[in-house]
Structure 1
Amino acid sequence: MFPGPQVTYRPFLEGVYRVSAGLFRLGTQPIPWREDGRAEEHTFALDREYARFIASKVAVHRRALHAYTGEAGLTPELREAALTFVARTLAAESGGAMTWDGRRFTNRALGWAADLGLRWGSVEALTRFDAPLAPLVAGVTPLQALDFLALNTPEDLAVLARDPQGGRDWLAAAHVLSPGHWDPRDKLGRDFAAVHAPVAGSGPMNATAPRLLEAVISRGPFVRFAWGVAMSDRLDQHPAAPPDEDRAATTRFDPARAFLRVERQTLTGFPAAHGALFTIRPYLYPLREAVATPGQAGALAAALRSMTPPQVTYKGLAHLLPGLLEWLNAQQSLKESEVSPALHSGA
């Protein structure tokens, strides 16, 4: 249903690892590490990986949904604003595969439709019909409107709220079924600084939280990126998920099994409702494809070397970094030696 190619993002091309807001204005600011260097214009990335994301989300939904989702002080006004945006934007960006008439949301790829009460989060009149990907959601019953809408998109969803009187902010809702080694339950109800406190090197960013949230709510939408190196391409890396090779104590770097994990995140504000929607979409690229030139190998090596020891530990790279850097150095030397003879021969 969504055959479009995946875009390749390489944030490491800066050659330095940064913990910062790193906001790009959606629709206008070019992304320097995007393959074509264009600006991002979409909120939801509906591409050839769509079925894989839905299958992963459904597996989580069946196994332990309570560990990945929740609400904390989400007002009806903010719920309605955020979910209306999700329904309307999904329909607009789906090329006709999804529709929204203000009450009923239909997904012709997944073969289901439901009436949604977005102010209070209700799901009614759920119907199913034949569709290319209908078997993926055949055994799933959405619990409420956020749950239903989130099961239609690869992106995870979170809602940030801010008190218009005292200025206090908090994470008011989370539906995060593809987390990268963090537990959404630990973040619910907490403010920006507390949510990001475990992130090594986040102190300077957290110090700007009031100004950052004001920009997100009042001057967006924005897109930002985070990245790391993983030894598994599983989307769900919740601390309570079944163990796999990523971050296991016995795992060592192997380029044939390594991936660049990039999270594309968008932030859309709703000033009248005093909050914002945060979307998270992971991309997993085989490392050998993500690092395809000597320059890319050198940039990734430089970015990794710029990490502080706490950042190396936080990113799960402590036992991988020596082998990873050795491989990157070899890739850089090997590919440079392959290029040089051709240059000298005039080819």
Structure 2
Amino acid sequence: MRPLPEQAVHLPFEAAPYRMAMDLVTVPEAAWFELDQAYKPDMAERRRLLETAHDQVFAAGAASGPARAEALALIAAALTAHHPDWFSRQGQRLHNQLSHETWDLEHPALDPLELAGRLVQEDLCVIQNGAEGPVFTAAVLCFPSRWRLIDKIGKPLVGVHGPVPFYADRLARPVDRFMRHLKVGPIASRLNWSVLDDPALFQPEGKWRVDGGSDVTPENAGSRLFLRVERQTLRRLPASEAVLFGIRVHVYPLTQAIDRPARAAALAAAVRALPVEILRYKSVLPFRNALLGWLEDR
């Protein structure tokens, strides 16, 4: 079996004035999912959460049933077509060479979306058109970046993003318009980044902190802080017409990601450019000065 590739290091920040934008690019189906050397530990954590905290990491509205089934079918087809070293299929039975599991796709023992979430490292969210715009109707969400699935499920996207500073004024309409007009076929992708003081993948809490972090200093920030990057993908499901929103979370120690002066300078400039509202929302204020001090030393 071919070994998995090394985990990609995504560095989406830039030394430029802060702007809130979707910044979408199109990726081929072969790049829809990232499979890498973090697969086994990531999937072990996903299985643990689905078995011990199911109500926190899985939710589905009744109207999302056809979309959930379609998502599994499309993901299984993509994995066997583009990653045959690790996924193979005999009729309706899908074999995962990496986990040594075999699943019945025709009569799955689990909800189809949950099963899909046990195949890939990405969290998977279903978004469907509603009277108030696109609505968040189902998800397998094991690695939230400081938000709780129970607080968001069933809401239109403008409500899901309600706490995000500037979202309502700057992004709500463009996002809703994009969701309405995304065509079947293209896969859109974007990157989102933050700096956190916790490397855990499962983080349902932690926004709006303005204190704490006193043990982070310019000397130890490289080992105490982590760059967290979400690689997000959006794809229209052809039959149900729902949008499948994927979120692959990467967590890098700063010492790994910021390994050269140009990267340190770019991240320092990006942190300085963040409005105070975003710093509060992302809980960066407790260690902002220590982070900048460490970056300046690099």
**TM-score, normalising length from structure 1?**
0.77
Change in CA separation of 1:314 and 1:155 when aligned onto 2, cut-off 3 Å: same
**Counterpart amino acid of 1:45?**
E
**Counterpart amino acid of 1:58?**
R
Judge conservation of contact 1:155–1:280 (CA < 8 Å) in 2.
yes
Alpha-carbon displacement from aligned partner over 1:136-167 (angstroms, at most 9, x marks no partner): xxxxxxx322212211211111111114xx57
The answer for the alignment partner of 1:10 in structure 2 is: 11
| Percentage of identical aligned residues | 28
Judge conservation of contact 1:260–1:285 (CA < 8 Å) in 2.
yes
Provide the C-alpha distance between the structure 2 equivalents of 1:167 and 1:190, rounded to a whole number of angstroms: 9
SS at match of 1:159: strand
The correspondence of residues 213-292 of structure 1 with structure 2, limited to 5 A, is 213-218=179-184, 220-239=186-205, 249-250=212-213, 252-253=215-216, 254-292=221-259
The answer for the alignment partner of 2:86 in structure 1 is: 97
Judge conservation of contact 2:134–2:180 (CA < 8 Å) in 1.
no
Structure with the larger RCO, 1 or 2 (CA within 8 Å, 6+ apart)? 2
SS at match of 2:243: strand
Unaligned runs of 5+ residues in structure 1 are 28-39, 125-142, 332-347
The answer for the alignment partner of 2:105 in structure 1 is: 116
SS at match of 2:166: coil
The answer for the alignment partner of 2:160 in structure 1 is: 195
Provide the C-alpha distance between the structure 2 equivalents of 1:66 and 1:192, rounded to a whole number of angstroms: 21
Alignment length (residue pairs): 290
**TM-score, normalising length from structure 2?**
0.88
Alpha-carbon displacement from aligned partner over 1:98-135 (angstroms, at most 9, x marks no partner): 12456222112212212124xxxx524xxxxxxxxxxx
Deviates most, 271-280 or 258-267: 271-280
Which of 114, 139, 159 is the equivalent residue of 1:147? 114
Provide the C-alpha distance between the structure 2 equivalents of 1:153 and 1:271, rounded to a whole number of angstroms: 21
1:174 is displaced (CA, Å) by 0.6
Provide the C-alpha distance between the structure 1 equivalents of 2:156 and 2:4, rounded to a whole number of angstroms: 39
The answer for the alignment partner of 1:24 in structure 2 is: 25
Provide the C-alpha distance between the structure 1 equivalents of 2:239 and 2:246, rounded to a whole number of angstroms: 20
Change in CA separation of 1:248 and 1:84 when aligned onto 2, cut-off 3 Å: farther
For the pair shown, the structure with the greater C-alpha radius of gyration is 1
Which of 137, 150, 171 is the equivalent residue of 1:185? 150
**Counterpart amino acid of 1:66?**
D
Pairing 1:173–2:147 present:
no
